[in-house]
Amino acid sequence: DTLTESFRGAINKIRFHDDEKSLKKALEELKKALLKADVHYKAVKDLLKTVENETKAKGIGKESFLSALRQGLLEILQTSGSQGFVFASKPPTVVLMAGLQGSGKTTTTAKLASFLKTKGKKVLMAACDLQRLAAVEQLKQLSAQIEVDLYHEEESANPVQIAKNALHRANEGLYDVLLVDTAGRLAIDEALMQELKSVKEAIHPHEVFYVADSLSGQDGVRSAERFHQEMALSGVILSKFDGDSKGGVALSIAYQIGIPLRFIGSGEKIPDLDPFLPDRIVNRLMGAGDIESLAEKTSAVISEKEAKNLTKKIKKGEFNFNDFLAQMDNMKKLGSMQSILSMLPGMGSMASALKDVDLDNSREIKQIRAMVASMTPKEREDPSLLNGSRRKRIALGSGMEVADVNRVIKQFDGAAKMAKKFSGKRGMQDLMGLMN
Ligand code: GDP
Ligand code: MG
């Protein structure tokens, strides 16, 4: 079970107002959950004390327990320091990416590059992982996918030299940001640390970001600590903070090392990266969702005008198959299904269930695409035209059974109705097409 579920369990242990016994039980449960989630015992102790004192001060009850827990978590996560991305006064802002192998450095480098690109920045990535044969190729593919420049050298086997040359290129090409991807090891070793230090000395980065796997537990926290001692990290990016991740590593890194958490990665796709904002993360951990992040993402993908038009259509009940397909494409730009759902209140557990829904490859969505392809333009705009004989024709054209066509149309109607219901809430309408 996740921290979120355990928190809820703890809160439900409190039965009556001013019931010290039930508070004690709730604190016990909280303690177990936090320790199980690999939160450091000292952090747990501090947190429990805050929760106990605050709850008692406000009068024991579910509400006071909840707000005390929220406050305690916030206190831990609000380490001083920068948030999100900080640009150097004189470009290019140079960022060195460090971390263990498989932590998500290369993916995160591309996510960050794409994040900055949407802010209108000119970004160069540098491929300085020469340990794994496929590493440069991986970054090449990502670079093509997100349309961000990549500096790499086919011949050289010297990451320090490549980093220097990349910096030279970034200066010459008037880039705003240089992101340097580096090699990792399965465990920290001296050679890795020396290589990283040499790269660091060669390019004097403004930021050294450590990419930490949220699932790595106390081991992960210890390596972050080692990297910090050796490299003086300026920020941490938590990767794999997906719907069902434990969140304990976030609390431990903030508490034990005190390096600011700058971003979180919450899925394998490029848009699955968000600035780390403590109160939003606390909301997510508490199962209250993160509507703000979702709204920001949505508005980056869909223009204000487009969103208004859509809302109007939905309200009038005119949402049609063309809109549906357009929304599907927008959804893809938002990131993985799981990451989107985990931002909605109460959707955390659904998110883990839907982990594998792939917008391109799910059977349902393929069927819908095939169906829409077999419709006439009029039918796409007005689903109410779809009578029996038209449905039969569409079934033939798309290689589906009539029953399947009926089912999909029914789902679509349901989705359109849902969308209508939710159309008052900005940012929600875009999701509705898929929630059924
Ligand atoms: P590196 O060895 O540190 O460069 O790690 P990679 O960037 O190659 O990532 C290792 C694996 O983790 C890949 O399969 C990524 O798709 C996956 N990954 C990276 N970030 C995330 C994330 O935020 N969520 C999920 N679910 N997977 C991720
Ligand atoms: Mg890599």
Q: Quote the tokens at residue 48.
A: 């429990």
Indicate which atom in ligand 1 lies nearest the CA of residue 211: 3
Indicate which atom in ligand 1 lies nearest the CA of residue 272: 23
Contacts 24+ apart (CB under 8 A), 356-360: 359/328, 359/331, 359/332, 359/434, 360/332
- Angle subtended at Cα 233 by Cα 228 and Cα 239, rounded to the nearest 5 degrees: 95
The predicted model gives 369-398 an average pLDDT of 89
- pLDDT of 315 above 90: no
Indicate which atom in ligand 1 lies nearest the CA of residue 111: 20
| pLDDT tens digits, 119-160 | 999 999 999 998 887 899 999 999 999 999 999 998 888 999
The span from the CA of 162 to the CA of 166, in Å, is 6
The pLDDT assigned to 369 comes to 80
Mean pLDDT rounded to a whole number for the chain: 83
Say which residue, 39 or 196, is predicted with more confidence: 196
Say which residue, 316 or 406, is predicted with more confidence: 406
> Is 269 a pocket residue for ligand 1 (Cβ < 6 Å)?
no
Neighbours of 345 (CB within 10 A): 13
> Is 184 a pocket residue for ligand 1 (Cβ < 6 Å)?
yes
Nearest CA to ligand 1 atom 28: 268
Pick the CATH number of 3-77 from 1.20.120.140, 1.20.1250.20, 3.40.50.360, 2.60.120.10: 1.20.120.140
**Residue stretches of the annotated binding site for GTP:** 99-106, 181-185, 239-242
> Is 242 a pocket residue for ligand 1 (Cβ < 6 Å)?
yes
User: 98: helix, coil or strand?
Assistant: strand
Q: Quote the tokens at residue 179.
A: 């992101």
> Is 159 a pocket residue for ligand 1 (Cβ < 6 Å)?
no
Indicate which atom in ligand 1 lies nearest the CA of residue 241: 23
* 262, 268, 355: residue to mutate for ligand 1 pocket, most atoms within 8 A of CB: 268
| pLDDT tens digits, 12-27 | 787 767 788 889 988 9
> Is 50 a pocket residue for ligand 1 (Cβ < 6 Å)?
no
The pLDDT assigned to 123 comes to 98
The pLDDT assigned to 61 comes to 85
Q: Which residues pair with 207 in a beta bridge?
A: 95
Q: What are the boundaries of each domain within the chain?
A: 3-77, 93-276, 294-432
The predicted model gives 402-417 an average pLDDT of 80
Residue 87 CB contacts under 8 Å (≥ 6 apart), including other chains: 93, 176, 177
Contact indicator for 210, 234 with CB cutoff of 8 Å? no
| pLDDT tens digits, 270-306 | 999 999 988 888 887 776 666 666 666 666 666 666 6
> Is 240 a pocket residue for ligand 1 (Cβ < 6 Å)?
yes
Any idea which residue has 């039965």 for tokens?
15
The pLDDT assigned to 292 comes to 65
Any idea which residue has 């557990």 for tokens?
349
Dihedral pair phi/psi, residue 137, rounded to 5°: -60, -45
Q: Which residues pair with 124 in a beta bridge?
A: 149, 178
Q: Which residues pair with 273 in a beta bridge?
A: 265
Predicted complex ipTM: 0.99
Q: Quote the tokens at residue 1.
A: 């079970």
The pLDDT assigned to 357 comes to 57
The pLDDT assigned to 429 comes to 42
Nearest CA to ligand 1 atom 20: 104
List strand residue ranges (DSSP E) for 248-313, in order: 261-265, 273-275
Dihedral pair phi/psi, residue 283, rounded to 5°: -55, -45
What's the one-letter identity of residue 362?
A: S
Indicate which atom in ligand 1 lies nearest the CA of residue 100: 3
The pLDDT assigned to 427 comes to 42
The pLDDT assigned to 248 comes to 84
The pLDDT assigned to 6 comes to 80
> Is 111 a pocket residue for ligand 1 (Cβ < 6 Å)?
no
What's the one-letter identity of residue 271?
A: P
Number of H helices, E strands in the chain: 21, 8
Q: What is the CATH number of domain 294-432?
A: 1.10.260.30
Q: Quote the tokens at residue 132.
A: 């794994």
> Is 131 a pocket residue for ligand 1 (Cβ < 6 Å)?
no
pTM above 0.95, yes or no: no
Q: Which CATH superfamily is domain 93-276 in?
A: P-loop containing nucleotide triphosphate hydrolases (3.40.50.300)
Q: How far is the CA of 333 from the centre of ligand 2 (A)?
A: 23
User: Which pLDDT band, with edges at 50, 70 and 90, does 186 fall under?
Assistant: confident
